Amino acid sequence: MRKLLVAGNWKMHMLNHEAVSLARQLKVRSLGLHRVGLVLFPPFTALTAVAEILNDSDLQLGAQNLHDRRSGAFTGEVSGEMVRSAGGSWVLIGHSERRQFFGDTDAWVNLKVHAALEAGLRPMLCVGESLEERQAGRLQEVLGRQLAEGLKGLTAASATELALAYEPVWAIGTGVVATPEQAQEAHALLRGMVAELLGMDAAQRLSILYGGSVKPDNARLLMGMPDIDGALVGGASLKADDFVAIAQAADGVVK
């Protein structure tokens, strides 16, 4: 049986008191969900406050980004060690918004993956195609490039600390969601690529999450697909009712 993973990316939302309130609700309401792992990705400003709330719970904490250097004159950036010191154990890397708006290239994403591992963090590597790329039939090409570059220099052993998140860019924040069959196709493709890069055992152990307008009413169908190991949730993670409902859907899926 494979344990599913549900992560909430709060993006640039939540002042500290709001983040603390939501974390407290999720801490209480997630009790009894034993077959699903939960990770929260609040903004940097709320990391320490949320870490204190989650300290004695099974909920895990992560940051939404990191710099590839341990320290230095990089105003406005945060290192992996800083994330660890704030209580984080995960970090999102290569999210589509980072790639689109902040210049995160495939090469930089790879540097960040290595930096996260060196800092003792678990990277959640995000990959996905735009609408134009999908319509042009470039799904395999785009995912292959992002994955090969993102995993460059990793061993099968180091990949055990990694998770992937497939996020079709055309389905993020749009209300459009890939059908379960479309999502499964991409996830199976990614697992096959990982098998070629790092071996079949690493591919089978790897958690691959779906991220793209995941909501309570589509979560169970998506996560019921054989190669979908959970969800990276955006907008729905800002509401305790919705996020808990998605987590409950994952908890009810047996693989």
**Residues noted as catalytic:** 95, 167
Tokens representing residue 185 in the block:
């196709």
Helix axes 180-198, 216-223, angle to 10 degrees: 50
Q: Cα angle vertex 205, ends 162, 164, to 5°?
A: 35
123 three-state secondary structure: strand
Q: Which of 167, 70, 183 is nearest to 124 (CA)?
A: 167
Strands 4-9 and 207-210: unpaired
| Residue 10, amino acid | W
Please report, for residues 30, 186, 209, the alpha-carbon distance to residue 142 in angstroms, rounded to integers and kept in the order given. Answer: 36, 11, 17
Spatial separation of the C-alpha atoms in residues 56 and 75, rounded to whole Å? 33
**SS3 state of residue 170:** helix
C-alpha to C-alpha distance for 248 and 102, rounded to whole angstroms = 34
Compute the distance between CA of residue 133 and CA of residue 168 in angstroms, rounded to an integer: 10
Radius of gyration of the chain from its Cα atoms, rounded to whole angstroms:
17
Closest CA to 228 of 210, 253, 246, 251: 210
